[in-house]
Structure 1
Amino acid sequence: MSVRFRRHYHLLLLFVAAVVVSGVALRNNRITAYTVAGAESARRPTVNYNNRLDLFDATVVHEVVVLIAADDQKKMVTTYQQTGNKDWFQADIIIDGVRINQVGIRLKGNASLRMAAGGGMRGGMRGGPAGGNFAPLDGAPVPQEAQPPGAGRFRPPEGFQAPGGVPPQEGAGFSGTPTGALPYLVKLDRFVKGQRYQGLAEIALRTAGAFSDASVLQEPVTNYAMNSAGVPIARSAYVSVQVGDGQPRLYTVAEHVDQTYVDRLFPDSNGVLYKAVQPGNTFAYLGEDPTSYANVFDQETAINRADLAPLIAFIRFVNEASDQEFAEQLPGRFDVVAFADYLAVHNLLANNDSLAGMGHNYYLYYDFDAKKFTILSWDANESLGKMTMGGGSQMDIYWERVGGMFGRGFGGPAGSGRGTHLLLKRFLATPAFRTLYTERYRLLYERIYGRDLLAPKIRELTALVTAYNAGRGIVAQAAYNAAANKVLDFVAQRNEYLKSTDLLRP
């Protein structure tokens, strides 16, 4: 043994010991390590946990267990109730048997979260009064029929009838019972840089939405229909979620719209993603100051490489262009086919909780090279007529009679306001774009209703949950069956109405 080798022998022993310990500690997890360099390193994982079961395999009910300290779990909810803040907390998570330590978790959502959390709703919605209960976003008085009593829990308007005739209660969803289950966002790299699960940095654990529905079918059925019709939407699947010592509940797990999602959808593009965050926004031009849009849009990606300038320029164009300029120049600035598809599919599936209804739940992606925007969908848990007061089956094809969750009196601040989204209004008022919309509407109708996509999928998902639920009790089976039957009835009623319209009548 050489002198040099003897001198460093102890270092070799330490290295071997470290390798052995690491192998034992990680023997149950499959981990892929990446070497990253350059400007792209922020978009690539450094540690990626794999699993034989794809997270969005819709043929199984997935399982997620969130291991979080009881005090942190309680603080997460009380902080939101008292301040409206959705603070991050550290937890460990087990996804389909694979454990990942030190992830971030926080509450997620707007109306769905307020319904589930109950109690005070201070500042929970953008533009709401800091330190006060929910009010219309423009500061107007809350109409008496929608005034939240006492602690700020939702009280249905006088004479309100929920689908199925179930009498609603304060703080309740369409089922007549408090929604309970809380929606969460899990950020795998919040505390460990570059940490991923199956390439994902973030996943959303989503509930039935603002109005309780035991089947939680709206999102998986809508996403399936949109994917089948060729309209981009986040991947999703049923999942059993247990948080802390709570009981497992039926949720959906959804791909979060972030840089990873953009890279999957536009693999060769270079751009920036904006999220519409203000319910009720009408796409009003508020000037060139980016801070004026702080409560209306969030910049989600390219934080150090871009700003709101492309978005503000597009909003200014939509507001100030003449009819001729709008008709001639919009296709060069905006993917009009994607927008026609967006409007058509949300109408076909009666999703009022979208740009065309509530003025939010969409993203705008700007491609720097093409100098062009495209629209992306998000959040379909109020689809299939849930937010139309039971009348969604006859939602007007051109979005002229939509209905809403609260009816009159819920407007918004500058940039949100009451009334139709200006981009929608001008698009459908332009003859060439209205013609495009009707053509795409007919095509998507045939892809969804003409092929009878929905009813078989609903029955398939019902059978899946029923089989999984036996002996587990993540949902009351009778309530699930009743809710699933209502969704089936709605789909049939929507199709019958559509077939009776001038556009689709044989």
Structure 2
Amino acid sequence: MGENVAPTPTATPPRKRLVHRLPTPLRQHWKLAATFIAFVAVLAIVFGDSRVRPYITGDATVIASQVTENVTGTVDFFDTSVEHTFEVEFTQADYDKMIEAYETDGDKEWITADLTIDGTLVADVGVRLKGNSTLRGLQNNTSGEGGMQPPEGMELPDGVELPDGMELPDAAATTEGGAPGGMGGRGGMVTLSADDPASLPLLISFDKYVSGRAYQGMTQLSVRPGSPVLNEAMALSLTAESGQPTQRYSYAVYSVNGSETQTRLILEHPDDGYANSLFDSDGVLYKADANSSFTYQGDDQTTYVDQFKQINGEGSQDLQPIISFLKWLDSASDEQFDAELADWVDVDSFARYVATQNLLVNSDDMAGPGKNYYLWYDLDSKKISVVSWDLNLALSGNSEAGPHDSISMGGGGGFGAAQQGATTEGAEPQGAAPQGGGARGGRMRPQAAAPTDGTAPTDGTAAAGGAGGMGGGMGGGMGGNQLKERFLASTAFTETYDSAYRELYEQLFSSGRALEVLDDVAASIPLSDGLTEQALATEVETMRARLQARTDALADDPVMAG
């Protein structure tokens, strides 16, 4: 019999050292991992209390915390070296409902559409009409022919209408280097028709029906009417050239439901992402409504909600900075205004804004009838700045307007214009001797309201704007902004304004830079069924003559001499 053999005890495996419990790749690269952990720890200590903003794309200029789906497209929409396409498609039934709603009640209803940008299909975008008086001809007009319309945001006085195919009055002569003085030039008037959807100004929303969606970081785009709207593109480009905040734009070959193509100017529409990337510091952006009043109306914020739309910072910020400023502005004496304005407003920035609007002969800025501007409140400095918006009337008025002339829709310093230096009856002039058509620093003279029946005023004053009261009906009498007016009327800020004006003139005009920018812009404009090569060349040469006329008119102005 075999010998009994005791079973061999099962050996207990040796305990692994801690390092062997880690995955092999980590053991092999432990130094790199340790360095990374140490780096994260340092970040947590140094920046632990800092706010972190999510970036939706790799582009550091895109800050849109509410964007969850960013359509990247095939090419940067603002790349001027590429010919862009922009195709909109919606059903006829939806379009008819949108037009009917506006014709009946003035409502701008959204409809669903498919949009193809540079070959990229973005389905189910929101589309609605955009504008105020620009669209007036569509209301109560069963023919569908809108005729020539005044610029966006402008409200005509009671009893004044623009008939279809309106012609300029005989008195509205074309000034040297300028457009007809009373109408703001070709950039301000467009022909709209409900029978031609491609002629209408539209607002495109990428997140209206798909929450959190954006296209290249933008939630909205604005399609401008008219072609090629060279004056607005130039104004946007020159504003950007000066280093001031503005809006990006692109030209595109545009069509609606397979229509003949048109050349359209398409702008980014300020949204949360735009506001958050506008300046290096944090702040809140507010858009002034066309019917807003730049006056203090009590402390109740609900009074201002429809007048100043808050673009970003919802939930953490509100309208109080604007209300507090208006309360101070309404109550401040001239002495207080001079001494304390810098506590409320970035004065240097504001001087550049005001000077730029004059240089660009823009009759519809923050003091124009459309009240086209944004307010930026800087959370660090606690000061307000003004951001330009809707420059479709820029570079279309009187090219001879001087630095201290008021720019109205009747043209600066002449037809339909008040002078910034004119003294209000009974008031003592504050400034120096008149120059360039007005006394520097004097109070502006209010324009007499022109009768709407074409007769002469009965008080012995001349009708602002000339024949038919057109300049008065469409001119500076409907605008006004007490911040801008008091700033220009005060001798305390004259040198600040003149210095900003002189610097901008040298940077943009006397240097020849404006003409170089024109060449760049012209090269980016695509031809289409609606814009021929000859028509584009004519527009470019007209703008070139206007820019040269503006340069020459200001060259000998005393402000330029310093």
Output the TM-score relative to the length of structure 1.
Answer: 0.75
The alignment status of 1:185 with 2:199, answered yes or no, reads: no
Q: 1:347 aligns with which of 355, 358, 361?
A: 358
Equivalent residues in 2 for 1:48-447, closer than 5 Å: 48-114=70-136, 119=141, 135-136=156-157, 141-142=158-159, 146-149=160-163, 153=164, 155-156=166-167, 158-159=169-170, 161=172, 178-180=191-193, 181-208=199-226, 214-269=227-282, 271-278=283-290, 283-293=294-304, 296-358=307-369, 360-385=371-396, 388=397, 392-400=398-406, 402-404=408-410, 406-409=470-473, 418=478, 420-447=480-507
1:233: Cα distance to partner?
0.5
- Per-residue CA deviation, residues 284-323 of structure 1 (Å, 9 max, x unaligned), is 3333344444553323333333333221211121121122
Separation of aligned partners in 1, 2:514 and 2:316: 42
Cα contact 2:134–2:153 (8 A) shared by 1: no
Instruction: Check 1:45–1:299 CA distance in 2 against 1; reply closer, same or farther (3 A cut).
Output: closer
Separation of aligned partners in 2, 1:196 and 1:425: 39
Equivalent residue pairs, number:
431
Instruction: Check 1:282–1:421 CA distance in 2 against 1; reply closer, same or farther (3 A cut).
Output: farther
- One-letter amino acid of the counterpart of residue 445, structure 1: Y
Separation of aligned partners in 2, 1:313 and 1:101: 44
The structure with the largest alpha-carbon Rg is 2
Unaligned runs of 5+ in 2: 1-53, 58-62, 194-198, 412-469
1:193: Cα distance to partner?
1.2
Separation of aligned partners in 2, 1:427 and 1:313: 18
Cα contact 1:356–1:399 (8 A) shared by 2: no
Separation of aligned partners in 2, 1:445 and 1:118: 45
Cα contact 2:289–2:371 (8 A) shared by 1: yes
1:376: Cα distance to partner?
0.9
- One-letter amino acid of the counterpart of residue 284, structure 1: T
1:118: Cα distance to partner?
9.0
1:158: Cα distance to partner?
3.7
- Per-residue CA deviation, residues 340-388 of structure 1 (Å, 9 max, x unaligned), is 1111111111111211433611001223343222111111122102xx3
- One-letter amino acid of the counterpart of residue 407, structure 1: G
Separation of aligned partners in 1, 2:275 and 2:485: 28
Separation of aligned partners in 2, 1:266 and 1:230: 11
Cα contact 1:357–1:404 (8 A) shared by 2: no
Which residue of structure 2 aligns with residue 449 of structure 1?
509
Unaligned runs of 5+ in 1: 1-31, 36-40, 129-133, 209-213
Cα contact 2:281–2:379 (8 A) shared by 1: no
Cα contact 1:195–1:201 (8 A) shared by 2: yes
SS at 1:284 equivalent = coil
Instruction: Check 1:154–1:375 CA distance in 2 against 1; reply closer, same or farther (3 A cut).
Output: farther
Cα contact 1:60–1:238 (8 A) shared by 2: no
Separation of aligned partners in 2, 1:64 and 1:220: 18
Cα contact 1:282–1:418 (8 A) shared by 2: no
- One-letter amino acid of the counterpart of residue 320, structure 1: S
Instruction: Check 1:110–1:126 CA distance in 2 against 1; reply closer, same or farther (3 A cut).
Output: closer
Cα contact 2:131–2:152 (8 A) shared by 1: no
Which residue of structure 1 aligns with residue 67 of structure 2?
45
Instruction: Check 1:162–1:185 CA distance in 2 against 1; reply closer, same or farther (3 A cut).
Output: farther
Separation of aligned partners in 2, 1:173 and 1:79: 29
Instruction: Check 1:47–1:401 CA distance in 2 against 1; reply closer, same or farther (3 A cut).
Output: closer
